[in-house]
Amino acid sequence: MITTDRQQAKEAYTLLNDIRMHPEKYAKKLGISPVNKVKRTTLIWNDDLAKVAEFRAYDMANRNYFEHVTPEGLGPNYYMVKAGYHLNPDWTKKKSANNFESIAANHATAVEGINAFIIGKGSPGFMHRKHVLGMDDWNGSLVDIGIGFVHSPSGSTYKTYLCVIIAKHDW
């Protein structure tokens, strides 16, 4: 039976905001360099994004895949709009579009998944680090967050699935 762990999601959210506000405190442990590139803004929890992140994590566990795009070709941007989160129409032209999601699997806790994003373990090119820490202009402009974390004790390739969506509305 797949279970959604909202407590883990909230702990990951709290940690991520602490890392963003105090990157020097985590620089050595997580290999954050240069710390001055970390966007020191507090991410704002968004219930719509959290529902999408929970759905995405659950869906991957339930249907045993690990991709940003569902087997039907639908990406996170599609699900965000479907949930009522308003995006720039350019970000939804392709149903497979992903401008906002980072995913991880098989971490004992959501906090460990966040750490893995930042360290770069299993994250090609450190793209997840840039995303979750806002280390470039695009990712630094994102302000809303939702996190989904599920446990899948049997029937899936991985025991846990983590989905982090950090986004912004069309301004």
Taking the C-alpha atoms of residue 97 and residue 87, their distance in angstroms, rounded to an integer, is: 12
**pLDDT for residue 124 is more than 70:** no
Taking the whole predicted model, whether its pTM rises above 0.85 is answered as yes
Domains in the chain, CATH or no CATH each: 3-167 (3.40.33.10)
Q: Tokens in use for 128?
A: 């997840």
- Across the range 13-30, mean pLDDT stands at 96
According to DSSP H, which parts of 64-158 are helical?
A: 76-82, 110-119, 127-133, 137-140
pLDDT tens-digit readout, 70-111? 999 999 999 999 999 999 999 999 999 999 999 999 999 999
Q: What is the mean pLDDT of the chain?
A: 94
